[in-house]
Amino acid sequence: AVALCGDGPQLLRLLNPVTGEIPPEYAIENQDEEMASLGPITDLKMVSMLDRQATSQTAFPDGTTAIGSPNGSNGVTPGHYQPACLVLSGRGQHSQLRALGYGVGMLKLGSTPLPGRATAIFTIEDEVRTKYMLISFVDVTLVLKLTSSGVAEVPPGEAEFVTGLPTVFACQGVQVTPAECKLVPRGGDWHPPRGCRIAAACWDGGSLILVALADGEVRHRGRVVGLAVDAPGLVNEVGSFDTDTEIMTVSAANGLVALCTRGSKVALYRYEEQQQQGAGGQLSFQALTVANVSSTVESLHINCMGGLHSLYLGLTNGVLMKYSVDPDVGSLGRQRSRFLGPKPVRQITTLPDETTVALGASLFICRAAASPGEDWCVPTTGCGVDVPVFLAPYVTEACPTGGVVYICDQDAGSSSMVLGSLLLPLEGHWVGFHDLLRPVTLGRTGRRIVVLDSRPEGEPGEFVIAVLARDSAAKGTADEGGSVLHLVGGRTFTMLATLKFPSNEECLCICPVVSKTALVSQQPPVLAVGIHRRGTEEGEADSYSIRLYTYFELEPAPMTHRRYEVQLAKEQPTEAAIITMTAHGDGAGLLVSLANGTVALYNFRDRLQLTRQSWIKTEPPIWLHCEHDDKCPDRVYSAARSRGGLQLHGIRKRDWSIQPLCREFGGQLGAQFASACVFDRDTVIVGDKRGGLTTMRVPGHIAADEKSDLAGYPMRMPL
């Protein structure tokens, strides 16, 4: 594959390394496949995709809650998934707004609708590739055959599959239904005792199938039966044991069997083969431990990797729990917990390449072992709108490992089957970014992303993104300039509104403003826009101003998606071009950096009137950051970068006066400042043009009236 990288799209061409020709199995229509380039990245924002938010926090037995707990999480706000990264990438007509998610990638190969809603999916493999896929419904089983030309339905009677009953479990040429355990194709079978049915089954990775029986006559009683699959194609019962309660699910690996009974009790047994004189080997079962789980167990899975046994529990509240297992005494050691979303964790399985996957609100990949400081369970992105419900591995010559086939629920009680391939990590690199939504093409170079307030209320979990796209005026037309402002739905990436500026106007910057006064009076939220209006040939000079736009949702028309309207509310002239601006404090005003070196403070009055309260003259600042301190509500802090170095100012809300809090700091970085962030009252984090971060602090607090000196920490972190 040859990738031609640049500011535009990347051209991918698949070639045979020997002949230099395109292999026929990878032939594509135009011999070139285009993918949008991610470079250059002009702006990015981190957001929480609110449609992935948990409905309520989940309490773990050790007192921690959801993601963000100290016992194995990723530091994200409790009750949320890992955040998405909104990115403006590309230049010109190739510029796009993309939502990138962190996780292991999934390549979707194809999908097909199914007749009804499936309840499970299994694959039966041979030494080379998967031959059959069994899709279980409520009362029947659909059998599909994987061939070189695709997937085809198996005619009734072929390979002697049982199709008139749902499939409980299937693997390695074994199909288990509620009425029998059958070897396919054309093998022996085993039937449970009269009055019993098979409730669950599992494979231990060797020649043993364990089935859990439910007694139809005596409720709340269960039995586990071990079945040995012989080479001639026979199924023989080799051992069993009874339980006091009904068995819901069972899993086995390397001499250990774990089962969950009704009432959320997890029991662990050890089984060994014992040779008897004049008879074949029989299994003996020994009870090791019984543990109570605080929530209902939906799924259970035990595996052994590298000599270490691990027990996974999937709960109905969306929590995945991992325990270490001592195979000698059966003790369970709590390792990690992870909240996977508001849906139950209904399936946990290990793929042939020893990758463990868990299905909750989405698909998650689990590490076999993880150190205390790393994330042991990462989401799988790239599935699009397909949310896996049931999953099974499949192996082909083209995809020997990492291949999965999964079921996705659709509307009206139907489902679809999807073929996919996991983009598994290499050499321990588990981090990747992939598109969560279809990218939005902007048509111009994206310059700025602003996540607006969720008001006005829309669909549940929806929020609005404002995107400023701007090219040179020469690329515009007589009626349309080079600047465009888009409002995009954050959850769906639908275009809500577009504001096009005329050819003689240029949009310099944008800033959202939502004040407490506007919230109380139910006024629409405000978007502040810096404007440069070019002069005319008749002698009219250039002018600059701040425009306040209100945006609100229109009444939806039938069969249409949501639409917004943007209206001009107020325009305030300025004496110079606006470099950047930011809302300060509770949103009651704007702090504006002008090209003539003025840092101006504008305060809001009634009906969105802007009044300039104070200003300070400095060398022309080219960067500005403003931060409100909850610990000192009377203060607002700003950091500006000028040619002389870093400047820090304090704003008193009593009289809106601006005071310098420290001397200009050039230090060892000199004019290499690129950006700065007020991290706390006495700490400033500075990014430099050489790709490093430096943390600086003021001795004492910068809230003091007297000037202080900024001092850099000796450690500089290169990026």
pLDDT surpasses 70 at 426: no
Query: In one letter, which amino acid is 375?
Result: D
Coil, strand or helix at 457? coil
Top mean pLDDT of 375-389, 636-650, 701-715 is at 375-389
Residue with tokens 């990949």: 365
Q: What is the mean pLDDT of residues 669-697?
A: 66
First and final CA of the chain: distance in angstroms?
A: 30
Give pLDDT, residue 306.
79
Backbone angles phi, psi at 516, to 5 degrees: -65, -35
Q: Which two tokens stand for residue 439?
A: 């990218």
pLDDT surpasses 80 at 301: yes
Comparing 104-435 with 509-718, is the CATH topology the same? yes
Q: Is the N-terminal amide bond of 40 cis, ω within 30° of 0?
A: yes
Q: What is the mean pLDDT of residues 326-347?
A: 85
- Per-residue confidence at 702, pLDDT binned at 50, 70, 90? very low
Give pLDDT, residue 25.
52
Q: What is the mean pLDDT of residues 647-669?
A: 61
DSSP label at residue 59: B
Q: Which residues, other chains included, contact 63 with Cβ-Cβ below 8 Å and sequence gap of 6+?
A: none
- Per-residue confidence at 432, pLDDT binned at 50, 70, 90? low
Q: Greater confidence, 190 or 649?
A: 190
Q: What is the mean pLDDT of residues 525-545?
A: 88
Q: Which residues, other chains included, contact 653 with Cβ-Cβ below 8 Å and sequence gap of 6+?
A: 585, 633, 634, 635, 636
Give pLDDT, residue 520.
45
Q: Do strands 645-652 and 635-642 pair parallel, antiparallel, or not at all (unpaired)?
A: antiparallel
Give pLDDT, residue 299.
93
Give pLDDT, residue 536.
82
pLDDT surpasses 90 at 177: yes
pLDDT surpasses 60 at 580: yes
Nearest Cα residue to 386 out of 360, 416, 421: 416
Q: Is the N-terminal amide bond of 185 cis, ω within 30° of 0?
A: yes
- pLDDT tens digits, 248-267: 999 999 889 999 988 788 99
pLDDT surpasses 50 at 100: yes
pLDDT surpasses 80 at 576: yes
Give pLDDT, residue 371.
62
pLDDT surpasses 60 at 364: yes
Query: In one letter, which amino acid is 120?
Result: A
CA dist 473 → 321, 367, 476, 477 (Å): 57, 52, 5, 8
pLDDT surpasses 50 at 593: yes
Contact 310, 321 (CB under 8 A): no
- Per-residue confidence at 358, pLDDT binned at 50, 70, 90? very high
Contact 220, 244 (CB under 8 A): yes
Buried b (16+ CB within 10 A) or exposed e, 300-315: bbbbbbeeebbbbbbb
Give pLDDT, residue 413.
75
pLDDT surpasses 90 at 363: no
Q: Greater confidence, 230 or 666?
A: 230
- pLDDT tens digits, 382-412: 655 577 889 888 765 555 556 788 888 876 6
314 forms beta bridges with 299, 320
Q: Which two tokens stand for residue 149?
A: 């030309």
Top mean pLDDT of 35-39, 69-73, 468-472, 592-596 is at 468-472
Class of domain 104-435: mainly beta
Buried b (16+ CB within 10 A) or exposed e, 259-276: bbbeebbbbbbbbeeeee
Give pLDDT, residue 525.
77
Q: Count the alpha carbons within 13 Å of 671 in the hemisphere toward its beta carbon.
A: 5
Give pLDDT, residue 538.
81
- pLDDT tens digits, 541-563: 899 999 989 888 887 766 567 78
36-50, 177-191, 255-269, 477-491: range with lowest mean pLDDT: 36-50
pLDDT surpasses 80 at 690: no
- Per-residue confidence at 218, pLDDT binned at 50, 70, 90? low
Q: SS3 breakdown of the chain: % helix, strand, coil, rounded to 5?
A: 5, 50, 45
pTM of the predicted structure, to 2 decimals: 0.60
Q: Greater confidence, 274 or 347?
A: 347
Q: Greater confidence, 39 or 21?
A: 39
Question: Alpha-carbon torsion 233, 235, 236, 238, what sign?
Answer: positive
- If you write DSSP's letter for every residue of 577-591 in order, what string do you get? -EEEEEEETTTTEEE
Contact 490, 515 (CB under 8 A): no
152-156, 168-172, 331-335, 557-561: range with lowest mean pLDDT: 557-561
Other C-beta atoms closer than 10 Å to the C-beta of 631 total 9
Can you give the residue ranges of every domain in the chain?
1-35, 104-435, 509-718
Stated length of the chain: 719
Q: Is the N-terminal amide bond of 23 cis, ω within 30° of 0?
A: no
Q: Is 163 exposed, middle or buried (0-12, 13-18, 19+ CB in 10 A)?
A: middle
Give pLDDT, residue 579.
84
CATH code for 509-718? Answer: 2.130.10.10
Nearest Cα residue to 295 out of 337, 350, 335, 331: 337
Q: What is the mean pLDDT of residues 663-691?
A: 62
Question: Three-state SS string across 656-684, please?
Answer: CEEEECECCECHHHHHHEEEEEEEECCEE
Coil, strand or helix at 482? coil
Q: Which two tokens stand for residue 255?
A: 């001499």
656 forms beta bridges with none
The gap from C-alpha 290 to its chain's centroid, in whole angstroms, comes to 35
Give pLDDT, residue 308.
86
Q: Is 594 exposed, middle or buried (0-12, 13-18, 19+ CB in 10 A)?
A: buried
Q: Which H helix or E strand runs over 413?
A: none
pLDDT surpasses 50 at 169: yes
